[in-house]
Structure 1
Amino acid sequence: MQNERAIALIRAGFKSVQAAEDGPDRLARSFFAHLFAQNPDFRTLFPVSMDQLRRHFILALGYIFDNLDKTDRVEPFLEQLGRDHRKHAITGAHFRAGQSALIAAFRGFVGNEVWTEEVEAAWADTLDAVSCSMTVAADNDELPPYWGATVVEHHRVLDDLAIIRLKVDASIPYYPGQYVSVRIPQRPNLWRYLSPAIPSNPQGEIEFHVRRVSGGWVSPAMVSEVSVGDRWAISPPLGGMSIDRNSPEDVLMIAGGTGIAPLRAQIMGMALRSTNPRVHLFVSGVYPCDLYDIETLWQISLSNPWLTVIPVTEDYEDPWWHSGPTRELPWGMHRQLYGRISTVVTQFGSWADRQIQISGSPSMVRTTIYALRRNGTPMEHVQHDPL
Structure 2
Amino acid sequence: MDSQAISLVKASFKAVAAVQDGPSTLARNFYALLFARHPEVRDFFPAAMDVQRERLITAIQYAIDRLEDSGQIILYLQQLGRDHRKYGVEDAHYVGVSEALIAAIAEFPSAEPWTDELEQAWRDVLALLSATMMDAANAESGPPAWGATVVEHLQVREDVSITRLQLDEPMDYLAGQYVSVQVPSRPRMWRYLSPANPANDQGIVEFHVRKVSGGWVSPAIVSQTLEGERWLLGSPLGDLKVRNDTDRDILMIGSGTGIAPLRAQILQMAQRGQSRRVHVFFAGRYPCDLYDLGTLWALAEQNPWLTVVPVTEEDEDPWWYRGPSSASLPGMHRRLTGKVGEVVADFGTWAERDIQLIGSESMVKTTKFRLHAAGTPPENIRHDPTY
Please indicate, yes or no, whether the TM-score normalized by the shorter chain is above 0.5. yes
Aligned residues: 386
SS in 2 for 1:271: helix
Q: Specify every segment of 5 or more residues in structure 1 that has no aligned partner in the other structure, as ranges.
A: none
The question of whether the paired residues in 2 share the 8 Å contact of 1:91 and 1:139 is answered with no
Name the CA distance, whole Å, in 2 between partners of 1:275 and 1:308. Answer: 13
Could you give the per-residue CA deviations for residues 43-99 of structure 1, whole angstroms, max 9, x where no partner exists? 111110100000110111111111111111111111111111111111211111100
Call closer, same or farther: CA 1:376–1:100 in 2, change over 3 Å: same
Whether 1:199 and 2:195 are equivalent positions in the alignment is no
Whether 1:61 and 2:47 are equivalent positions in the alignment is no
Displacement after TM superposition at 1:245 (Å): 4.1
Whether 1:288 and 2:287 are equivalent positions in the alignment is yes
Name the CA distance, whole Å, in 2 between partners of 1:234 and 1:310. Answer: 32
Q: Which one-letter code corresponds to 2:150 in the other structure?
A: V
Aligned alpha-carbon RMSD (Å)? 1.3
Name the CA distance, whole Å, in 1 between partners of 2:330 and 2:240. Answer: 31
Report the equivalent of 1:267.
Answer: 266
Report the equivalent of 2:48.
Answer: 49
Report the equivalent of 2:19.
Answer: 20
Q: Which moved further from structure 2: 305-314 or 7-16?
A: 7-16
Displacement after TM superposition at 1:311 (Å): 0.5
Q: How does 1:1-387 map to 2 (within 5 A)?
A: 2-110=1-109, 114-387=113-386
Displacement after TM superposition at 1:327 (Å): 3.0
Name the CA distance, whole Å, in 2 between partners of 1:24 and 1:155. Answer: 39
Call closer, same or farther: CA 1:113–1:179 in 2, change over 3 Å: closer
Name the CA distance, whole Å, in 1 between partners of 2:137 and 2:332. Answer: 47
Call closer, same or farther: CA 1:376–1:98 in 2, change over 3 Å: same
Could you give the per-residue CA deviations for residues 7-50 of structure 1, whole angstroms, max 9, x where no partner exists? 11111111111011111111001111111111111111111010
Name the CA distance, whole Å, in 2 between partners of 1:195 and 1:334. Answer: 26
Q: Which one-letter code corresponds to 1:189 in the other structure?
A: R
Name the CA distance, whole Å, in 2 between partners of 1:108 and 1:245. Answer: 47
Displacement after TM superposition at 1:366 (Å): 1.3
Q: Specify every segment of 5 or more residues in structure 2 that has no aligned partner in the other structure, as ranges.
A: none
Displacement after TM superposition at 1:325 (Å): 2.4
TM-score for the superposition, normalised by structure 1: 0.97
The question of whether the paired residues in 2 share the 8 Å contact of 1:152 and 1:167 is answered with yes
Q: % of aligned pairs identical?
A: 52
Q: Which one-letter code corresponds to 2:215 in the other structure?
A: G
The question of whether the paired residues in 2 share the 8 Å contact of 1:357 and 1:382 is answered with yes
Call closer, same or farther: CA 1:133–1:246 in 2, change over 3 Å: closer
TM-score for the superposition, normalised by structure 2: 0.97
